[in-house]
Structure 1
Amino acid sequence: MSSKGYDYSITRTLDAPVGKVWNAWTKNDEYGKWAHAEEVELDVRPGGEWRSVMVIPGGARVPLTGTYTEVVPKERLVLGMNVPGSDEPALMAADFVAEGNKTKITLSQTFDTAEDRDQAEQGSNMLLDGLTAYLAEN
């Protein structure tokens, strides 16, 4: 991450083994189910591109694109998201730690402004809520 100044880190322990959590983050069909996304394309490798259309409450569709910058299977994903009007992608790290049949996941990001950080943190909590519900059902 950079030293821009406004960061967050969210850690949750999920009731699923790390392989299942990893697959939920890296398989097109699974990611779309819990992340409320359509048209999901994930090329999970360093330099690989990802794209999806997020469907937000109310039905609005938001196209998202980016690139994976770091991939350590079942341990770490760092992905950049292209942000309109910005020369640099917003980077997010997802760290996975196996704890028996559970997985500790930590999402973290750093931003230039507190407002951007707060919006991203809210979005990350929504992602983790969706992931938690998906893992409980599958």
Structure 2
Amino acid sequence: MSTEQTTPANGFSYKLTRTLDASAVKVWRAWTTPEQYARWAYAVAGSVEMDVRPGGVWKATMATPDGGQFPLTGSYLEVAERRLLVVGMDVPGKPAPVAMTVELDERNDHHTQIVLHQTCDTAEERDMAEQGSTMLLDSLSAFLTDEASN
């Protein structure tokens, strides 16, 4: 996995790139199907709702390793099936959703490059978001490997 951090004039950014052992169709389904998303993204089963279209909303209750739970909500800002998701996340105290971009580039039927990137207001927010995104990519990779072996 490659990682890149930048500090542009308008915020603090990170970009994570990884090649997954799955087709873009399988990666897309993992990100956009509530049941699959709940299995790899640390969401409570049955809590995920997704209306995957520009302007559509999503929600999920996330589970923490210590047994805690916290709700997340947001919307889809851009959607290009099997290629691009721009996910807006509602953050208390922020006037606009925080956007995370998920780009998929299918290399062949069995490999897809995924790129996650986000711009945050502070270095601390960026570091926390990057850590969370790294955990998501690790879990997604393990989920896709398990799915392939079943």
> Above 0.5 in TM-score?
yes
Q: Which of residues 113, 125, 131 in structure 2 aligns to 1:122?
A: 131
Output the CA distance in 1 between the equivalents of 2:33 and 2:11.
33
- Identity over aligned residues, as a percent? 50
Alignment length, in residue pairs? Answer: 137
Give the TM-score taking structure 1 as reference length: 0.97
**1:71 alignment partner in structure 2:** 79
**1:91 alignment partner in structure 2:** 99
Q: Which of residues 59, 64, 82 in structure 2 aligns to 1:56?
A: 64
The answer on 1:110 being equivalent to 2:116 is: no
- What is the aligned-residue RMSD (CA, Å)? 1.1
CA offsets 1:37-62 (integer angstroms, 9 cap, x no match) = 02000110000000000101111101
Give the TM-score taking structure 2 as reference length: 0.89
The one-letter code sitting in structure 2 at the alignment partner of 1:105 is I
SS of equivalent residue, structure 1 residue 119: helix
SS of equivalent residue, structure 1 residue 80: strand
Bigger relative contact order (CA 8 A; separation at least 6): 1
Runs ≥4 residues deviating over 4 A: none
Query: Structure 1: which 5+ runs fail to align?
Result: none
> Closer, same or farther in 2 for the Cα pair 1:37/1:3, shift >3 Å?
farther
